[in-house]
Structure 1
Amino acid sequence: MNEPRHPHALEIDYAYLEETLLQLLAIPSPVGLTDAVVRYTAGRFAALGIPYEITRRGAIRATLKGRESQPARAVVAHLDTLGAMVKSLKANGRLEIVPIGHWSARFAEGSRLTIFTDSGQVRGTCLPLKTSGHAFGGEIDTQPVGWEHVEVRVDLPAEDRAALEAAGLNVGDWIAFDPQPEIQPDGYINSRYLDDKAAVAALLTACKAIRDRGFALPVDVHPLLTITEEIGSGASAALHGDIAEMVSLDISIAAPGQNTSEHAATICMQDMSGPFDYHLTHKLIALAKEQGIAHRRDIFRYYRSDSAAAVEAGNDIRTALIGFGADASHAQERTHRDALVALTQLVIAYMTSEPVARRDCRSMGSLDGFTEQLCPGDMLVPSTPLPVPESFLGDPVQQQTDSERH
Structure 2
Amino acid sequence: MDFNGCKDFLMETAKTLLAADSPSGFTQNAVAAAERIAGALGYATRRTNKGGLVIEVPGREHTKRIGLCAHVDTLGLMCRAITDKGELMITRIGGLPTLDGEYCKIYTRDGRVYTGTVLSLSPAAHVFDDVLTRPRDEQNMAVRIDEKVQNAEEVRALGIEVGDYICFDPKTTVTQSGFLKSRFIDDKGSAACLLALLKLMRDAGTAPRYDTEIHFTVYEEVGHGGATIPGDLDELLAVDMGCVGSDLTCTEYQVSICAKDSSGPYDYDMVSRLVALAKERGLDYAVDVYPHYSSDVSVTWRAGSDAKAALIGPGVHASHGMERTHWDGMRNTIALAAAYLECE
Per the TM superposition, whether the score is higher than 0.5 is yes
SS at match of 1:134: coil
- Give the conservation status (yes or no) of the 8 Å contact 2:74–2:187: yes
1:135 and 1:216 map into 2 onto residues whose CA distance is 63
- Give the conservation status (yes or no) of the 8 Å contact 1:215–1:352: no
1:94 and 1:200 map into 2 onto residues whose CA distance is 35
1:203 matched residue in structure 2: 194
Q: Please tell me whether residue 187 in structure 1 is matched to residue 178 in structure 2.
A: yes
Deviant stretches of 4+, over 6 Å:
none
2:315 matched residue in structure 1: 325
1:67 and 1:345 map into 2 onto residues whose CA distance is 19
2:160 matched residue in structure 1: 169
Q: Please tell me whether residue 122 in structure 1 is matched to residue 122 in structure 2.
A: no
Q: TM-score, normalised by structure 1?
A: 0.82
2:137 matched residue in structure 1: 146
Q: Deviations over 1:23-60 (max 9, x none)?
A: 11111011111111111111111111111221122211
1:234 matched residue in structure 2: 225
Q: Deviations over 1:67-101 (max 9, x none)?
A: 22231111100010010000000111101000011
- Give the conservation status (yes or no) of the 8 Å contact 2:229–2:300: no
Query: Mind listing any 5+ residue stretches in structure 1 that lack a counterpart?
Result: 1-7, 355-406
Q: After the TM superposition, which residues 214-229 of structure 1 pair with which residues of structure 2 at under 5 Å, given as runs?
A: 214-229=205-220
Query: Mind listing any 5+ residue stretches in structure 2 that lack a counterpart?
Result: none
Q: After the TM superposition, which residues 61-140 of structure 1 pair with which residues of structure 2 at under 5 Å, given as runs?
A: 61-104=54-97, 106=98, 108-119=99-110, 120-137=112-129, 139-140=130-131
1:252 and 1:70 map into 2 onto residues whose CA distance is 31
SS at match of 2:69: strand
1:178 matched residue in structure 2: 169
Q: After the TM superposition, which residues 264-343 of structure 1 pair with which residues of structure 2 at under 5 Å, given as runs?
A: 264-343=254-333
1:91 and 1:173 map into 2 onto residues whose CA distance is 18
1:217 and 1:94 map into 2 onto residues whose CA distance is 52
SS at match of 1:19: helix
- TM superposition shift of 1:217: 2.6
- Give the conservation status (yes or no) of the 8 Å contact 1:276–1:321: yes
Q: After the TM superposition, which residues 351-370 of structure 1 pair with which residues of structure 2 at under 5 Å, given as runs?
A: 351-352=341-342
SS at match of 1:297: strand
1:70 and 1:36 map into 2 onto residues whose CA distance is 35
- Give the conservation status (yes or no) of the 8 Å contact 2:100–2:136: no
Name which one, 1 or 2, has greater alpha-carbon Rg.
1
Kindly provide the amino acid, as one letter, of the partner of residue 331 in structure 1: G
1:157 matched residue in structure 2: 148
Structure 2 counterpart of 1:55, from 48, 51, 54: 48
- TM superposition shift of 1:353: 6.5
- Give the conservation status (yes or no) of the 8 Å contact 2:11–2:174: no
- Give the conservation status (yes or no) of the 8 Å contact 1:262–1:325: yes
RMSD value, Cα: 1.4
1:112 and 1:319 map into 2 onto residues whose CA distance is 38
- Give the conservation status (yes or no) of the 8 Å contact 2:231–2:304: no
More displaced stretch, 270-279 vs 30-39: 30-39
Q: Deviations over 1:187-216 (max 9, x none)?
A: 122110101110000000011111111224
- Give the conservation status (yes or no) of the 8 Å contact 2:57–2:207: no
1:271 and 1:238 map into 2 onto residues whose CA distance is 20
Higher strand fraction: Structure 1 or Structure 2?
A: 2
SS at match of 1:147: coil
1:109 and 1:175 map into 2 onto residues whose CA distance is 14
SS at match of 2:304: coil
1:172 and 1:265 map into 2 onto residues whose CA distance is 38
Taking a change above 3 Å as real, the CA distance of residues 353 and 17 of structure 1, as seen in their structure-2 partners, is closer
1:23 matched residue in structure 2: 16
Percent pairwise identity? 34
Taking a change above 3 Å as real, the CA distance of residues 296 and 93 of structure 1, as seen in their structure-2 partners, is same
1:42 and 1:240 map into 2 onto residues whose CA distance is 23
SS at match of 1:307: helix
Q: Deviations over 1:385-404 (max 9, x none)?
A: xxxxxxxxxxxxxxxxxxxx
